[in-house]
Chains A and B, each alone.
Chain A
Amino acid sequence: MNLIFNIAWTHVRTRARQTLIAGFGVATGVGFSIMMASLMEGSQDDFVKTLVNVLPHVTVSDERNKPTLQPAEVRYAAAEIHGLTPEVRRRGIKNPMASIAALEAWVPGKLTPSVTSKGLLRYAGRDVAVSITGIDPRTEGKVSNLETQMRQGELSALYRATNAIILGDRLADKLAAKVGANVTISGSRNVRINGTVVGTFHSGVRQVDDGAAYVLIKTGQILEGQTGLVNEFRVRLTDPMVARSVAARIAAETGYKSVSWEEAQEDLLSAFQVRNIIMFTVVGAILLVASFGTYNIISTITHEKSRDIAIMKSLGLNERTVRRIFVIEAMAIGLAGAVVGSVLGYFMCIGLGTIEIKTPFVDATRLPLKYTINHYVIAAGVALFSSVVAGYFPARKAARVHPVEIIRGAT
């Protein structure tokens, strides 16, 4: 074994330049793979984090999972009467405070009740349709980031004016409404009230900044024309990744529709899967191309060394020994490339992290990068493996050389 390493090392050492180029090929591949993976996963995490920050992890609403049954359907199994409008059900979650108390007992996170309604804001002759959420400023901060997203004013300002309202910053721009402006709020039940803008917020999600407004629960209830109404609970979990199972359990226990953020954003999350497939394809291609460099150098060495191989075989070294020499050389190139590439990748990530950019989707001033040992282990592992495979084929061919053919040719 010692002998094999000795010969392999000598071959690699005496071809320093070629070996360096092949090793650098692998290193570049590994480096860029790491950088790509870091950037892709970093931006994905960043996006998910923004989503998770903006959206409630679980939303429980007063919609029932099943449509209301006709009285006749309740009574008779096979009866169906056409043309009947379903029975109007009183809106809202029944006994909301008791439900919250029951859920708080086991849900790993915080809950806040709210009233959601659709409405129209009118100011200075401009109308904008908005979704209005009635919130409890005391618990809202535990469930959403609204408090930290405030650009002007603060959440508690909702208490300071009659029918106080907080607007998304883009919405405020659209209405040209500044803090202190008196806007008219029209609810969906023909209720019209005058409100005062007491603040603006910026969430970073355009849809929200464009068309969302917050009021007190009480104001929301007035807009919906129903005292004591609570038609939504929003839940923030300590671990957003358990949202799916928590949502399922809430639905099972309360019978109300309960949606996790993952379900609500299914289309986005599946887009990430496509993105990941693209990423792995590109990264795989980079590493594959790098392994061709290894194939090349090992082919060259075995070609140049065909006479030495013939000699070693004529002296009595067997095929396996000769093959191992060249596989070890390939492994050395792959290993050096993987190590150098990991360092290169790390520094490229750091370099990339200093670049400032703005994207239309996320307010990132710096490129989001994820640092995880997995990227390094995978990229280095794949590079090493492909180098060994790339070295194996020329090595096998070289080891099969018939010594007599070479010796005859030389004499």
Chain B
Amino acid sequence: MSQPLIEARNVTRVLPGLVPVTLVQSVNLEIRAREFVAITGPSGSGKSSLLYLLGLLDLPTEGDVLIGGQSTTTMSEDERAKVRLSNLGFVFQFHFLLPEFSLTENVALPMRALGALSEDEIRQRAEGLLDSLGLADHRHKRPDQISGGQRQRVAVARALANEPPVLLADEPTGSLDSKSSAQVFDLLRSLVDERGKTVVAVTHDLGLAARMDRRVQIVDGRIVADEKTATAPA
């Protein structure tokens, strides 16, 4: 079997304080290429915390997270930022687009931060991404001029900007109506099936989770179930 893209090894995260709170407890998890993983669980179960740890937004108190086989806990903050920039894409419950910038500029942001392409190439690629997600007419609009579902699609486009192999989504449909949420889900689905991406999405919507390929269930910071769903390809 190939090397996992993301691997959590005995990861524990404790919030320090007067009464320390354990968010994630001794989690072992491997995410491989072209997987479509749902992380589910009740509110406060630690599913989002696990996603932040997998996405290097947070540091585990114990254990290690490996990206492409590389340990990340010993990296500096800047090195982890670099890994996030080129290897991981994030989509949050709220779109988190920069309000003063046009959609194209928002999508271009990670590419400009990476600095691997010229300004022209970046603009072309950002526009291409928006076009491919059906937002061609809105290129120069600002985030507050489009609908919530469209914004979330722009957020996906931004997450894809630097062609990361993995997309991490935190309740990507959590603040959308059912129609928009279906569109966003279909988009994520197509990323796995057609573009060969790996998508890890946190959701409390069990119906949605059932339509993904693998379901990891978290209760009180521990993995209680990790199984293939009925829709998973054989």
Contacts and interface: CB of A to CB of B under 8 A. Distances in A.
Nearest to B159: A315
Interface string A170-192: 00000000000000000000000
Interface string A304-335: 00011001111111111100000000000000
A95 interface: no
Interface stretch (B34-42, B94-102, B180-188): B94-102
A411 B170 contact: yes
Contacts of B86: 316
Contacts of A316: 81-86, 88, 110, 113-114
A313 B81 CA distance: 7
A410 interface: yes
A319 B171 CA distance: 27
A404 interface: yes
A235 B48 CA distance: 90
A407 B81 contact: no
Interface string B87-124: 01010111010111100010001101110000100000
A66 interface: no
Contacts of B94: 410-411
A69 to B, nearest CB: 82
Contacts of A404: 52, 57-58
B158 interface: yes
B177 interface: no
Nearest to B77: A319
B100 A307 contact: no
B194 interface: no
B58 to A, nearest CB: 5
Interface residues of A, number: 27
B137 interface: no
B61 to A, nearest CB: 14
Given A3-B113, A407-B92, A411-B171, A318 B81 contact: yes
Contacts of B99: 308
Interface in B29-80: 48, 52, 55, 57-58, 77-78
A403 B57 contact: yes
A111 to B, nearest CB: 73
Interface residues of B, number: 34
A318 B58 contact: no
Contacts of B96: 307, 311, 407, 410
Contacts of A312: 98, 109, 113
Contact of A3 (B52, B55, B112): B112
A407 to B, nearest CB: 6
Contacts of A403: 57
A270 interface: no
Name the residue in A312, A316, A407 with the highest tally of chain B Cβ atoms < 10 Å from its Cβ.
A316
Contacts of A317: 81, 85, 113
A315 B158 contact: yes
A46 B204 CA distance: 82
Given A316-B81, A320-B78, A411-B170, A311 B110 contact: no
Interface in B203-225: none
A2 interface: yes
Contacts of B92: 407, 410-411
A90 interface: no
A314 B77 contact: no
Nearest to A411: B93
A17 interface: no
The 8 lowest CB-CB distance pairs between A and B, nearest first, are A316-B85, A316-B84, A3-B112, A318-B81, A311-B96, A318-B78, A10-B100, A316-B81
Given A315-B113, A411-B94, 5 more contacts: A2-B119, A6-B105, A316-B86, A404-B58, A408-B48
